[in-house]
Amino acid sequence: MSDAANPPVDDVANEGNDDALGAFASGVETTEQFPLQVEGLRKSFGGITAVDGASFEVEAGTLTGLIGPNGAGKSTTFNLITGMLKPDSGTVTFNGEDITGLEPHEIANRGMVRTFQIARELSDMTVLENMMLAPKQQRGEKLWRSVAPVVRDDVREQEEELLERVWEVLDFFDIDHIAHEYAGNLSGGQRKLLEMARALLTDPDMLLLDEPFAGVNPTLEKKLLTHIHELREQGYTFLLVEHDMDLIMNNCEHVIVLHQGKVLTEGTPDDIRSNEDVIEAYLGGNV
């Protein structure tokens, strides 16, 4: 278990204010070589087996792509890892701890945060409220602390620290100009940026991005990728579900191919590119 998994939020704001990235990232100190390990994951809905014994590992500090044709079980796998669904069998291990069957919030609090395929902004909250929501272990999340007269000053103090972090992240993602806007009024691309920014504010070790580039224009896509690479160099680990093969091949160090709920193959982009099975799976042949 890394030290970074549960840092007190108020310490974070004091770090490296000069560096936009350092300001909101407390630094990732994952000790495990493979922070995420998935073993024999299985889930069926009625008669359909969506995930059928998938096993893989994600190496620390990498950008790992998870690809597969439609219906291969990518989104279900994501939901099983992050606790949105409970697996029928199999285990998920994060930073050396068995997290199978934990609630989504318990998993998020251990440092693994996801984004959604269709951006799920909180429409009737402003961008700033969306962002302020994310940081973990806020004192004011205790009802009595928020209400009681003297204690509320502590909450106020922490809110001020959080607000600085939030504005730094807004600047970093270049969405500071829409900070006061209701999230429901944003464009599709802006929502994607908001979601990633919001996920980062939870101070995770690992981010699971479900098709972060779907519906995003090429300029923004490039920008998002730049952000992802910068964050990866800092030590964040990424698992990325994506349809765009070229994008995966050009950006990921490691690629896992899912097919019919199982891991078909995995390896470097070059391995995958030349793999006959993968080509067949994507062209719809019988494997």
Partner 1 sequence: MSVRDDIAARIPGGDAGLIVLILASAYLLYILAGIGLGYDLRGQLNSIATLTFYIGIFAMLSLALNLHWGYTGLFNIGIVGFMAVGVYVMALVSKPVFVAGGAAQVGGLGLPLWVGIIAGMLAAAILGLVVALPALRLRADYLAIVTIAMSEIVRFSFLSGNLQEFNLFGTKVGFGGGSGLILDFVPPLEALFRSVGLWGVYLGFVEAFQAIVPRNPKPVVDGLIYGALLLGFVAVYFWLLKRTGESPFGRVLKAIREDEDVANALGKNTDGFKIKSFMLGCALMGLAGILWLMPQGAVTPNFFRPRVTFFVWIALIIGGAGSNTGSVLGGAVFAAVLYQGPRYFQNLVGTVFPNLDSPSGFGQAISPLISQFDPVPLLLYTVDSIRQLQLVVMGLVLIWLMHNRPEGLLGHRKETASVISLDRPKSMTAADGGTDGEVRTDGGVTEDDSTAAVEGGASDE
Residue 91: alpha-carbon gap to chain centroid: 19
Shortest distance, CB of residue 148 to partner 1, whole angstroms?
Answer: 9
Which is nearer to partner 1, 59 or 161 (by Cβ)? 161
CB nearer partner 1, residue 38 or residue 102: 102
The least CB distance from residue 227 to partner 1, in Å, is 11
Angle at 181 between CA 114 and CA 139, to 5 degrees: 55
The least distance separating partner 1 from the CB of residue 175, rounded to whole angstroms, comes to 7
E-state strands within 119-247: 206-210, 237-241
Cβ 198 to partner 1, closest distance in Å? 7
Strands, E assignment, the chain = 36-45, 48-58, 63-67, 89-94, 97-98, 112-114, 206-210, 237-241, 254-259, 262-267
Q: Give the three-state DSSP class for 61.
A: coil
User: 């108020």: which residue's tokens?
Assistant: 10
Q: Which residues bind partner 1 (CB under 8 A)?
A: 82, 84, 103-105, 108-109, 113-114, 116, 120, 122-126, 128-129, 132-134, 136, 138-143, 146-147, 152, 155-156, 159-160, 163-164, 166-168, 171, 174-181, 184-187, 189-190, 193, 198-199, 202, 217, 219-220, 222-223
Shortest reach from residue 48's CB to partner 1, in Å: 22
- Separation between Cα atoms, residue 213 and residue 89, nearest integer Å: 31
Contact present, 203 and 110 (Cβ < 8 Å): no
The nearer residue to partner 1, 208 or 257, going by C-beta atoms, is 208
Kindly tell me which of 114 and 262 has the beta carbon lying closer to partner 1: 114
Q: 226: how many CB neighbours lie within 10 A of its CB?
A: 10
Q: Which is nearer to partner 1, 174 or 230 (CB)?
A: 174
Determine the 3-state secondary structure of 128 from DSSP. helix
